[in-house]
């Protein structure tokens, strides 16, 4: 009996996935555990393994196409075996091994893509990337994907095709926009530009943050004196260099350490509002927002309050690198009890972060800057200051809880020796 390869949920928030590429073709022998495809989810590009043994009989959803979770992507069975595609009435014999995946697009069980709007170039993100690298003008191509979508194989075919003696037929010209009226009160047309489909990651960001805005949130801001942390960081890095270690501790590592210990001191802040219940977490698992191409991801450092600066620095670096390469496993970017977003490296003094549900808090960290301050002797001196802002879900925590957390957080950075206790 033939087995159907379904698109499984590769991350907790995944609803659909983009088939980036197939590593097997119809006619290939498949064994359990073989990598058969790459799928772009809302969080990362992940390899998909086969759970079946047999021959890859047919691919229903070609590379460059998007499918919902649960969609049958391909079928594996015995050579010549008959099968019925899920959602289709007639039974059919297996396609010949040489059949190309794109030839089966009409029988794909995935929902059909919307027609291409006039003047819009429909193409997959992977096709655009390959076209840019190969120097192919993607706007000159005809797509072979659903609804004429330009996919990777179209670009690769154009990149390797010999130069024709006669020029290819041009694409239909985009109608010129109607001239804008200059009369007072006239309705202006929309500005010119292009429309690009959202990646799976941006779709997830849109859904999650839209949901986050429904929470009754409040923010608290304060300033932190950073002279002691900067001096401690220099001492720690000098000690690591003397040990010939490649590890370097950043200001953000001190921020993570201080936040973790502050959450341990103020456990009410390490909480979430879920289904009209208040969850107080036992572990301190801190998510660190990392900017990647096309969006952001939040790798999670587990039990951060139990780790020293060196361990935090090494783990944060490794997670960030895998996050930028979209190689994080689902358990490495889910389940944070609290999150930190640091834009100080971009020269940002102050900002407010949007909650990352279901956690009740997220800390926004600005840059450390030199400003004039009044010291204990009433003298004006140069001080190093950093602005921090916490966004809290008022259903889970009150203002006093958030204020106590910031008080403890600042105490650890202003007296970093406390991190050793």
- Of 84, 107, 130, the residue at which a domain comes to its end is 107
Q: State which of 68-77, 109-118, 274-283, 364-373 shows the largest mean pLDDT.
A: 364-373
Look at residue 149 in the predicted model and tell me its pLDDT.
Answer: 65
Specify if 16 maps to a domain. yes
Please tell me the predicted confidence (pLDDT) of residue 301. Answer: 97
- Residue ranges of alpha helices (H) inside 266-375 are 309-324
pLDDT digits (tens, 9 = 90+) for 250-297: 999 999 999 999 999 999 999 999 888 999 999 999 999 998 877 888
> Is the model's pLDDT at 117 over the cut of 70?
no
- What range does the domain containing 307 cover? 213-420
pLDDT at 298 over 60: yes
Q: What is the pLDDT of residue 371?
A: 95
Q: Is 204 contained in some domain?
A: no
* pLDDT band, residue 181 (cuts 50/70/90): very low
**Residue 178: inside a domain:** no
**CB-based contact 47:19 (threshold 8 Å):** no
Higher pLDDT, 34 or 260: 260
Residues 412 and 265 in one domain: yes
Q: In the prediction, which pLDDT does 101 show?
A: 36
Using alpha carbons, list the distances in angstroms from residue 296 to 43, 44, 231, 284, 289.
8, 10, 31, 22, 7
- Give how many domains the chain has, as a whole number: 2
Task: Return the higher-pLDDT residue of 41 and 311.
Answer: 311
Q: Of 107, 130, 160, which closes a domain?
A: 107
The model's pLDDT over 360-394, given as tens digits with 9 standing for 90+, comes to 999 999 999 999 999 889 999 999 999 999 999 99
What is the CATH classification number for the domain harbouring 370? 3.30.559.10
Q: Which pLDDT belongs to residue 115?
A: 33
**Of 205 and 101, the one with more pLDDT:** 205
Share of the chain above pLDDT 90, in %: 48
User: What pLDDT was estimated at residue 218?
Assistant: 95
In a domain, 251, yes or no: yes
Same domain, 217 and 100: no
**Could you tell me if residue 127 is inside a domain?**
no
% of the chain beyond a pLDDT of 70: 81
What is the model's pTM?
Answer: 0.61
- Report whether 263 contacts 305 (CB < 8 A): yes
Q: How far is CA 242 from CA 54, 238, 308, 314, 339, in A?
A: 57, 6, 18, 17, 33
Q: Please choose, from the candidates 160, 144, 159, 158, the residue with its C-alpha nearest in 3D space to the C-alpha of residue 64.
A: 144
Whether residue 304 is contained in a domain is answered as: yes
**The pLDDT of residue 241 is above 60:** yes
Tell whether 221 and 366 lie within a shared domain: yes
Domain limit, last residue, from 92, 107, 122: 107
Q: Are residues 285 and 403 in the same domain?
A: yes
Residue 316 has pLDDT above 80, yes or no: yes
Angle CA 394–397–400, to nearest 5:
105
Task: Identify the residue with better confidence: 153 or 267.
Answer: 267
Q: Do residues 98 and 219 both lie within one domain? A: no
Rg (CA), the chain: 27
- Most confidently predicted of 154-158, 183-187, 369-373: 369-373
Residue 28 within any structural domain of the chain: yes
- The structure tokens listed for 375 are 């010291």
pLDDT above 70 (res 188): no
Q: For residues 298 and 289, is the Cβ–Cβ distance under 8 A?
A: yes
Residues 254 and 402 in one domain: yes
Q: How confident is the model at residue 12 (pLDDT cuts 50, 70, 90)?
A: low
Q: Which of 112-126, 132-146, 190-204 has the lowest mean pLDDT?
A: 112-126
What is the CATH number for 30? Answer: 2.40.50.100
Residues 95 and 219 in one domain: no
Which residues carry out catalysis? Answer: 394
Residues 6 or more apart from 167 whose CB is under 8 A from it?
Answer: none
Average model confidence (pLDDT) for the chain? 81
Residue 150 lies in a domain: no
- pLDDT > 70? residue 100: no
Task: Mark whether 218 and 95 lie in a shared domain.
Answer: no
């Amino acid at each position: 009996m033939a087995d159907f390869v379904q698109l499984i949920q590769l991350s907790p928030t995944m609803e659909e996935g983009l088939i980036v590429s197939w590593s097997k073709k119809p006619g290939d022998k498949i064994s359990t555990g073989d990598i058969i495809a790459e799928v772009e989810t809302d969080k990362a590009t992940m390899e998909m393994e086969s759970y079946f043994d047999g021959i890859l009989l047919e691919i229903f959803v070609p590379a460059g196409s998007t499918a919902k979770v649960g969609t049958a992507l391909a079928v594996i069975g015995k050579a010549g075996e008959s099968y019925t595609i899920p959602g289709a009435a007639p039974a059919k014999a297996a396609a010949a091994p040489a059949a190309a995946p794109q030839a089966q697009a009409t029988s794909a069980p995935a929902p059909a893509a919307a027609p291409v709007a006039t003047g819009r170039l429909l193409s997959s993100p992977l096709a655009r990337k390959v076209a840019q690298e190969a120097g192919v003008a993607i706007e000159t191509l005809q797509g072979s994907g659903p609804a004429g979508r330009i996919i990777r194989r179209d670009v690769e075919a154009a990149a390797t095709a010999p130069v024709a003696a006669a020029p290819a037929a041009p694409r239909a010209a985009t109608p010129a926009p109607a001239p804008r009226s200059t009369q007072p009160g006239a309705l202006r047309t929309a500005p010119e530009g292009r429309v690009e489909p959202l990646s799976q990651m941006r779709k997830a960001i849109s859904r999650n943050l839209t949901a986050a805005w429904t929470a009754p949130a409040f923010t608290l801001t304060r300033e932190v004196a950073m002279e002691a942390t900067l001096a401690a960081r220099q001492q720690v890095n000098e000690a690591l260099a003397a040990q010939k270690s490649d590890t370097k501790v950043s200001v953000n590592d001190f921020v993570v350490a201080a936040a973790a210990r502050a959450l341990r001191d103020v456990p009410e802040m390490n909480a979430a509002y879920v289904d009209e219940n208040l969850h107080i977490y036992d572990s301190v698992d801190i998510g660190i927002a990392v900017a990647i191409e096309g969006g952001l991801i939040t790798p999670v450092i587990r039990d951060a309050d139990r780790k020293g600066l060196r361990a935090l620095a090494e783990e944060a670096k490794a997670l960030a690198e895998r996050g930028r390469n979209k190689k994080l496993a689902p358990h490495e970017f889910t389940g944070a009890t609290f999150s930190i977003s640091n834009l100080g490296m971009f020269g940002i003094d102050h900002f407010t972060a949007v909650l990352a549900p279901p956690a009740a808090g997220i800390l926004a960290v600005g840059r450390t800057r030199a400003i004039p301050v009044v010291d204990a002797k009433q003298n004006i001196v140069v001080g190093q200051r950093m602005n921090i802002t916490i966004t809290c879900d008022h259903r889970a925590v009150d203002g006093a809880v958030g204020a106590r957390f910031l008080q403890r957080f600042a105490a650890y950075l202003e007296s970093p020796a406390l991190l050793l206790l």
